[in-house]
Amino acid sequence: MKADTTDFGFQQVPTEEKAARVAAVFRSVAARYDLMNDLMSLSLHRYWKRFAIGLSNVRAGHQVLDLAGGTGDLAKGLAKRVGTTGTVYLADINEQMLQVGRDRLLDYGLVQNIRYIQANAEALPFVSNHFHGITIAFGLRNVTDKLKALTSMYRVLKPGACLIVLEFSTPVLPLLRQIYDSYSFHLLPKIGGLVANDAESYQYLVESIRMHPDQESLKSLILQAGFDECDYFNLSAGIVAVHRAYKY
């Protein structure tokens, strides 16, 4: 890989172009994003997200950042935990995803304790040592410079607090890996084409999953960003992993 290029799915693109290409994907999928999540994961994403929130240790009164928060699934669960004395900041680089998220959470009656911020994970616009917890679900693999983003998350987290990264990972059972590969490469883009009229975006999403670091490589990257401790939990036999990283 040349230094000035990066992966966009299986393609190599100029590094400065990746964010715009990712933005185009999420602009295009925003309206059908929630329906597609349920269809593609057979609703398993709800369980994965509940597990991630459970690990976050977020409590009443906390200031929490849900980064790459999109349409707000995690923010919704976190808002219930922080209650009326805490605040959830739902941050995303993409205006369309934020709009869908804000409308959805308003429909759930969640108003008082959620703030919406358009921001890039690589350069978080918050003061240092501020958050009692940060979550990022299915977002990190879309970020151009993951190390820079993790370093930025480390900076804004309070000492003693933890970061929760929920992301697709590498299945641990070889047979499952084969079935999963054929499902993702053959069926998913077709479902994306039929339901969202956008096979291309779902082709990128599948490819980006394969390009994402496996469990151990992501743990190394998180530690390289400055975190003091990191463990992880495989869900659905490693199709998804939750990394939990502490700043001391």
Ligand X SMILES: C[S@@+](CC[C@H](N)C(=O)[O-])C[C@H]1O[C@@H](n2cnc3c(N)ncnc32)[C@H](O)[C@@H]1O
Q: Is 68 in the site for ligand X (CB under 6 A)?
A: yes
Stretch that binds ligand X, among 57-65, 70-78, 157-165, 225-233 (CB under 6 A): 70-78
Question: x/- string (CB under 6 A) for ligand X, residues 92-131?
Answer: xxx--x----------------------xxx---------
Which residue number, 97 or 218, has a Cβ lying nearer to ligand X? 97
Q: Is 22 in the site for ligand X (CB under 6 A)?
A: yes
Q: Is 192 in the site for ligand X (CB under 6 A)?
A: no
Residue 207, both tokens: 């490819």
Q: β-strands 157-168, 131-137: how paired?
A: parallel
Q: How far is the CB of 242 from ligand X (least distance, A)?
A: 12
d(CA 5, CA 102): 34
Q: How far is the CB of 72 from ligand X (least distance, A)?
A: 7
Partners of residue 105 on adjacent β-strands: none
Kindly tell me which residue out of 100, 137, 153, 225 binds ligand X, with binding defined by CB under 6 A: 137
Which residue number, 97 or 161, has a Cβ lying nearer to ligand X? 97
Which residue number, 44 or 173, has a Cβ lying nearer to ligand X? 44
Q: Is 69 in the site for ligand X (CB under 6 A)?
A: yes
What is the secondary structure of 89-152 as a DSSP string?
EEEES-HHHHHHHHHHHHHTT--TTEEEEE--TTS--S-TT-EEEEEEES-GGG-S-HHHHHHH
Report H helices in 4-123. 15-29, 33-41, 44-55, 73-82, 95-107
Q: Say which amino acid occupies 193.
A: G
Q: How far is the CB of 132 from ligand X (least distance, A)?
A: 19
Kindly tell me which residue out of 9, 139, 189, 192 binds ligand X, with binding defined by CB under 6 A: 139
Backbone angles phi, psi at 222, to 5 degrees: -65, -40
Q: Is 73 in the site for ligand X (CB under 6 A)?
A: yes
Q: Is 70 in the site for ligand X (CB under 6 A)?
A: yes
Q: What sign has the CA pseudo-torsion 184, 185, 186, 191?
A: positive
Q: How far is the CB of 175 from ligand X (least distance, A)?
A: 27
Stretch that binds ligand X, among 88-96, 186-194, 223-231, 233-241 (CB under 6 A): 88-96
What residue has token string 């003061």? 127
Partners of residue 118 on adjacent β-strands: 92
Cα distances (Å, whole numbers) of residue 173 to 128, 176, 178, 238: 41, 5, 9, 8
Which residue number, 33 or 227, has a Cβ lying nearer to ligand X? 33
* Interacting residue ranges for ligand X, rule: CB under 6 A: 22, 26, 68-71, 73-74, 92-94, 97, 120-122, 137-139, 142-143
